[in-house]
């Protein structure tokens, strides 16, 4: 039994329908182990049980997403200290515990015991309402983009079975006119019958830009094929349906982009973030959704490490000075800085000058971009720290 006043650690393996909680004392002995439904009453009862079992309670979870949102909100609202134990760490530690099978109870025990032995895990806090909104909006946008890629790949595959030349004629990923075309005409025979002039008129009525060019390219592609392929009629109907779905999806993405911009620009930091060349409102919103208020980052180096842009040493024996990208980093945060660097280096200015300098030093394109992305972490950090807009002058760094 645990004496009153002794600290205990409660590890929680979080799930959608229920969580499993295991508490251990300072000696690593199990105090209690129980299943908890993911509802308010049972979570509050768990908090009460833990507080009764020990004088000081420390909580640890392996998921900080939507599945654990209610759990974390209640813990933080009741002034409980919570840390996040990464799933990778839990998986590595599991091998040192009894039992070959993977169970919720075992995972919860590993989480609790790992939190007991280590003190370097990041504490969790309830994100501000704005950050939560941006997290939801940007995640939903990512889902829509993934849906668009899947539908587009399916459409192109079907077009290959109808007319390969027509599939090659357009960049369907960025051409609204080509998708409008496919809502009415999908086969070589149909395009040949209507001809360029009538097809141009048809497209113009549907507000397609450069209708004449779209019509000419489509009919030209159709004229290279006189053979109707097997299953063409059914494939044409499916292409038509996919084209309609893609056009509707593009409108949904456009709407959510507007909502993201409007929400992001209510943040006091939005103007500062957007002033950095290459960092538009969508990337800026994703940045805020990931990093929050930056309070969990001690300095720019910590932020760069989270983005996988700060190499860590990998020395062994006599081999020293070896560095590599950290295994634990946020890939989306890295992508944000990479994309913004890619955009910025295409325009005249400090970013392009720095990129060209790195290329002159012998770095490959990707290496130079990553070096630029790392530099931009420092610049953005200094801008947010000093609450000032971007200028071409180098930021003044503070000693830490």
Q: What is the mean pLDDT of the chain?
A: 88
Determine the pLDDT at residue 219: 97
**Whole-number percent of the chain with pLDDT over 70:** 90
3-state DSSP of the chain: CCCCCCEEEEEEECCCCEEEEEEECCCCCEEEEEEEECCHHHHHHHHHHHHHHCCEEEEEECCCCHHHHHHHHHHHHCCCEEEECCHHHHHHHHCCCCCCCCCHHHHHHHHHHHHHHCCCCCECCCCCHHHHHHHHHHHHHHHHHHHHHHHHHHHHHHHHCCCHHHHHHCCCCCCHHHHHHHHHCCCHHHHHHHHHHHHHHHHHHCCCCCHHHHHHHHHHHHCCCCCCCCCHHHHHHHHHHHHHHHHHHHHHHHHHHHHHHHHHCCCCCHHHHHHCCCCCHHHHHHHHHHHCCCCCCCCHHHHHHHCCCCCEECCECCECCCEECCCCCCHHHHHHHHHHHHHHCCCCCHHHHHHHHHHHCCCCHHHHHHHHHHHHHHHHHHHHHHCCCCCCCCCCCCCC
Determine the pLDDT at residue 321: 46
* Residue 332 pLDDT exceeds 90: yes
Q: Which range in 105-114, 125-134, 214-223 is most confidently predicted, on average pLDDT?
A: 214-223
Mean pLDDT of 14-43: 92
Confidence band for 174, pLDDT divided at 50, 70 and 90:
confident
Q: Which range in 123-132, 295-304, 378-387 is most confidently predicted, on average pLDDT?
A: 378-387
Confidence band for 3, pLDDT divided at 50, 70 and 90:
low
Determine the pLDDT at residue 54: 66
Please give the model's pTM, rounded to 2 decimal places: 0.78
- For the stretch 253-294, pLDDT in tens is 999 999 999 999 999 999 999 999 999 999 999 999 999 888
Determine the pLDDT at residue 400: 41
Determine the pLDDT at residue 399: 46
């Amino acid at each position: 039994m645990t004496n009153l006043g002794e600290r205990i650690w409660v590890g929680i393996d979080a799930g959608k329908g229920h969580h499993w909680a295991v508490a251990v004392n300072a000696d690593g002995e199990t105090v209690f182990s129980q299943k908890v439904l993911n509802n308010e009453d049972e979570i509050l009862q768990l908090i009460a049980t833990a507080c009764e079992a020990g004088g000081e309670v420390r909580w640890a979870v392996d998921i900080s997403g939507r599945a654990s949102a209610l759990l974390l909100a209640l813990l933080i609202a009741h002034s409980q200290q919570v840390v996040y134990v990464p799933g990778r760490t839990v998986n590595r530690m599991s091998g040192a515990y009894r039992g070959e099978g993977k169970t919720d109870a075992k995972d919860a025990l590993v989480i609790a015991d790992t939190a007991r032995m280590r003190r370097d895990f990041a504490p969790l806090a309830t994100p501000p309402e704005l950050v939560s909104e941006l997290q939801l909006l940007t995640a939903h946008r990512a889902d829509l983009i993934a849906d668009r890629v899947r539908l587009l790949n399916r459409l192109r595959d079907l077009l290959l079975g109808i007319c390969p030349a027509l599939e090659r004629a357009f960049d369907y990923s960025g051409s609204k006119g080509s998708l409008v075309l496919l809502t009415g005409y999908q086969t070589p025979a149909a395009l040949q019958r209507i001809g360029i002039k009538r097809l141009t008129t048809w497209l113009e009525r549907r507000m397609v830009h450069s209708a004449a060019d779209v019509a000419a390219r489509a009919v030209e592609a159709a004229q290279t094929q006189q053979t109707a392929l097997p299953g063409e009629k059914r494939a044409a109907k499916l292409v038509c349906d996919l084209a309609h779905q893609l056009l509707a999806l593009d409108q949904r993405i456009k709407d959510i982009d507007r909502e993201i911009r409007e929400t992001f620009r209510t943040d006091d930091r939005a103007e500062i973030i957007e002033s950095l060349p290459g960092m538009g409102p969508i990337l800026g919103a994703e940045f805020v959704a990931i990093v929050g208020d930056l309070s969990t980052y001690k300095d720019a180096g910590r932020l760069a490490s989270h983005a996988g842009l700060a190499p860590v040493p990998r020395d062994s024996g006599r081999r020293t000075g070896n560095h590599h990208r950290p295994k634990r980093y946020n890939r989306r945060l890295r992508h944000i800085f990479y994309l913004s660097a890619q955009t910025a280096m295409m325009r005249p200015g400090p970013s392009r000058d720095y990129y060209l300098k790195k290329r002159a030093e012998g770095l490959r394109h990707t290496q130079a971009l990553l070096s630029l992305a790392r530099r931009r972490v420092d610049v953005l950090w200094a801008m947010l720290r000093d609450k000032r807009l971007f200028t071409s002058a180098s930021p003044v760094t503070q000693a830490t």
